[in-house]
Amino acid sequence: MENLDSTVIVTALPQMARSFGTDPVGLNIGVTAYMLTVAVFIPVSGWMVDRFGARGVFAAAIAIFTGASALCGFSQDQRSFTACRVLQGAGGAMMMPVGRLVMLRGTEKRDLVRLIAYVTMAGLVAPVLGPPVGGGITTYLGWRWIFFLNVPLGLIGVGFALALIGRERAAAPQRFDLVGFLLCGGACIALTYGLELLGRAPTPWLAMTVFVGAGLALGALAIRHLRCAAPTS
| CATH number of 30's domain | 1.20.1250.20
Same-domain check for residues 167 and 186: no
Same-domain check for residues 186 and 98: no
Last residue of a domain, which of 173, 191, 218?
173
- Confirm if 134 and 9 have CB atoms less than 8 A apart: yes
Give the pLDDT confidence score for residue 64 in this predicted structure: 93
Q: At what angle do helices 54-74 and 78-105 cross, to 10 degrees?
A: 160
| Cα–Cα dist 103/112, whole Å | 9
Domain count, the chain: 2
CB atoms within 10 A of CB 171: 7
Same-domain check for residues 148 and 204: no
Last residue of a domain, which of 121, 149, 173?
173
Same-domain check for residues 205 and 120: no
Same-domain check for residues 53 and 112: yes
Smallest CA-to-CA distance from 41 within 230, 140, 144, 186 is with 186
Same-domain check for residues 53 and 81: yes
Q: Is the dihedral of CA 11, 15, 19, 22 positive or negative?
A: positive
Same-domain check for residues 96 and 13: yes
Give the pLDDT confidence score for residue 1 in this predicted structure: 76
Give the pLDDT confidence score for residue 214 in this predicted structure: 93
Same-domain check for residues 140 and 158: yes
Give the pLDDT confidence score for residue 231 in this predicted structure: 57
Give the pLDDT confidence score for residue 233 in this predicted structure: 45
Same-domain check for residues 192 and 161: no
Q: Which domain holds residue 76?
A: 2-173
Same-domain check for residues 169 and 200: no
Give the pLDDT confidence score for residue 133 in this predicted structure: 79
Give the pLDDT confidence score for residue 69 in this predicted structure: 92
CB atoms within 10 A of CB 10: 14
Same-domain check for residues 93 and 193: no
Q: Is the dihedral of CA 155, 156, 158, 162 positive or negative?
A: positive
Question: What's the chain's Rg over C-alpha atoms?
Answer: 19
Give the pLDDT confidence score for residue 155 in this predicted structure: 93
Last residue of a domain, which of 173, 194, 221?
173
pLDDT along the chain (233 residues), means of 10: 74 84 76 82 81 86 93 89 90 83 78 80 75 81 88 91 78 78 87 80 86 93 84 51
Same-domain check for residues 82 and 161: yes
Smallest CA-to-CA distance from 13 within 68, 72, 63 is with 72
| Cα–Cα dist 194/211, whole Å | 5
